[in-house]
A and B are shown apart, each in its own frame.
Chain A
Amino acid sequence: MSCRLAWGAAAAYLIAASAFLPSRIAAQEGLARPKVQVEFRVEAVRYVQHFSDHKTDLEQQAAKRFAKSLADQFGFLDFTSDVRPTKLKVILANVAMSQTCMVDDSNCPKETILRLALEQPDLPTTNYDDWIYLKRDDFFVSLGGVDAEVENLARVGFLKLNAPDVIAKLFSHIQLTPTGHLLWKPVGGAAGAKEQIAGVAVPLPAMVLCADQHSVLVLRSEIPQEFVASAKTELAIDAQGPFVPPENSADDGWKKERGNLFGVPASNPPTDRKWDAWDSLAAVGDKKQIKITGIFMHQYRRMDTGCSPAILPSAALGNSGGGL
């Protein structure tokens, strides 16, 4: 009798839990890394000629393989070969060397590159042409079967990939999250004193973004102005790792950010681009008027401890104070 009761209770729990499942999944979606569809295309003339009939096989296999390799290299993005709005086209192409050596001339040696084209809804396509797969001298390399060439493309290609450059020039255009939480603290610690920035909490667990110290993020924000439109700023953030709120934190919002990626204003930001000064943010009287429009990755360092491939319900909801 007691056994039957136990089974009945378990079934009722499962039914109840399943009723909540969609909302849980929705919650996880918001906390997940941006998903990027990887599409592989073959345009390099010798590959088109060699694979002709098997080109689709090559493209499909290479897309899967590159999605995996890209995920290994760039843990802050979720690469997949499934259809997604954000699409990364990896195009095996040739670069014309001169008027007498055009891209469709298969008998003239030229560079073979892996061109990256990032397509996002409502945004112009961003291209990256600096990933050289084969130098000019290797143009006439012998080509084998589909499996062998997919292996070559991934193995040789990723050895030649300048990952920091790709992040700075291409993946920095992918929004990690549309919001962020600016954490302010009073100067000197006294309540009511002028506030200064303590850091920024990215509403994504550091484990999920897999970003360690020395990663640099871009905080894009709009600061209201008195007589003109809001000033747009791009500020550099040094990632610090998972956020651990202080025990005596007065702000409940800080506790909700536990485990999320925390960053502080970059003291020595990368010099490959221009940055706005943090002072402009600090100067705003009503901090609530500061509107964060997106956070992006600019320089990435993968966590040495490894990354979580997906956010666990317990990590997403339990640690951040939420629950069923």
Chain B
Amino acid sequence: MTNSPVIEEPSGGLTETVKSTSAASPSRKSWTSAAFLAVLVIAVNSWTTRHLGWGLESAFGITSLAVGLGLVVTIGEKLLPEEEIKALRVSVAQIPVALVIGLWIAFACLATLRSSVVVLGDSNEKTFSPEGVRLTKIDTGEAILATQREGKDASLRFAVSTSPLGRAYRLKIPGYIEQVVQVYPLIGLTVVPETDLRVSPSLLFRPPTNALQELNPQSNGKFQILEIQKNAANSLVVSCHKSSYLLGREQGIPAAWAGLWDLELKVSQVSDVPTVEASTKLAWYRYTVLVPAHDLAPGDFIEARVISGGNAVIARAQVKLGSEPLKDVALLAVPSPQVLNRSEVPSCPAD
């Protein structure tokens, strides 16, 4: 009888291996959930920052938060008893993946159906009044109220509903033509009026020399602008200065126009009288700005006329607005003056 050596299974060998394998699976799960959760936090933060205007606005911010949390955990491991640390690990590992996926789905739904429109102001120059900015639904015409006004440039934020393929809205900003905009989910819409919108058309009305003379204070003439809608004329504005009139947004007169004005004065032979020619040109250059009650838009039909002290229309022009930002409109002298009823003659506004 020989005693062969007994090879003993090292204690805890297989069992330990199996145990360690079954222990690694929940740990991996917990890290997966944690990773999804972390990405969700980042995504939600980005979305709220973009569409609601609050959140950690930069990657640096969210990194700082993560580092801070790591530091808290490290310190906690050193300071807390072993049992409490284990319990904490168990609670994190117990967050089910399904819950994380559910949160993701909820966020995806929200992000798909809600979006925002941001209208950026101009910090250097007040190009529009925030009060006049209007965003309306195309189908119902319902106005959307601005949820936020922020920054020194008074940018406006509108929280709007949308769809995966986007939704159309009407945007009207004072001084600019109303425009239809598409608002898509996630990216939303940021509008810079100066670059993204077309300015409302303006009109430069130039009365002829004889009509300018009627606008001298002692001659008691009046300049009137009417808006024609369905054969009815509504008075928009009246003024009594000896000048040309810029209706709408103030802007520079193109230099090339001066050459055309010279030709006009030559054709009418006004340039034969140098003092009158000079006086006419000055009056045309030094326009009076008239602000209409509402912005002009392409398609509007506008009439301008000069009424003499004797209540007759002596010069007139009618124009249909196009898309050009500034249009030069020369009033023409009326050969047979049309005498108006006293009730039709406006009074000069007090300066």
Contacts and interface: CB of A to CB of B under 8 A. Distances in A.
A261 B156 CA distance: 98
A194 interface: no
B115 interface: no
B239 interface: no
Given A108-B268, A142-B216, A142-B219, A49 B276 contact: no
A52 B219 contact: no
B273 A137 contact: yes
A109 B270 contact: yes
Contacts of B214: 49-50, 143
B190 to A, nearest CB: 51
B309 A143 contact: yes
Nearest to B207: A107
Contacts of B349: none
Interface in B168-217: 208-210, 213-214, 216
A186 to B, nearest CB: 68
A140 B334 CA distance: 16
B344 to A, nearest CB: 11
Interface stretch (B9-17, B36-44, B310-318): B310-318
A184 interface: no
Contacts of B270: 107-109, 140
A48 interface: yes
29 contacts: A46-B210, A46-B213, A49-B334, A49-B337, A50-B308, A50-B314, A51-B308, A51-B310, A52-B310, A52-B337, A53-B312, A54-B310, A106-B210, A106-B335, A107-B210, A107-B270, A108-B270, A109-B269, A109-B272, A137-B275, A140-B209, A140-B210, A142-B219, A143-B214, A143-B218, A143-B219, A144-B218, A145-B220, A148-B218
Given A46-B210, A144-B218, 15 more contacts: A48-B337, A49-B214, A50-B314, A52-B308, A52-B310, A104-B336, A106-B335, A108-B268, A137-B273, A137-B275, A137-B276, A140-B276, A143-B214, A143-B219, A145-B309
Interface string B327-346: 00000011111010000000
A107 B333 contact: yes
Interface of B: 208-210, 213-214, 216, 218-220, 268-270, 272-273, 275-276, 308-312, 314, 333-337, 339
A291 interface: no
Contact-residue bracket for chain A: 20 to 34
Contact of B269 (A55, A101, A143, A145): A101
Interface of A: 46, 48-55, 97, 100-101, 104-109, 136-137, 139-145, 148
Contacts of A139: 273
B343 to A, nearest CB: 13
**Top 9 closest A-B pairs, CB basis?**
A52-B312, A52-B310, A49-B314, A53-B311, A51-B310, A106-B210, A107-B208, A53-B310, A142-B216
Contacts of A148: 218
A106 B311 contact: no
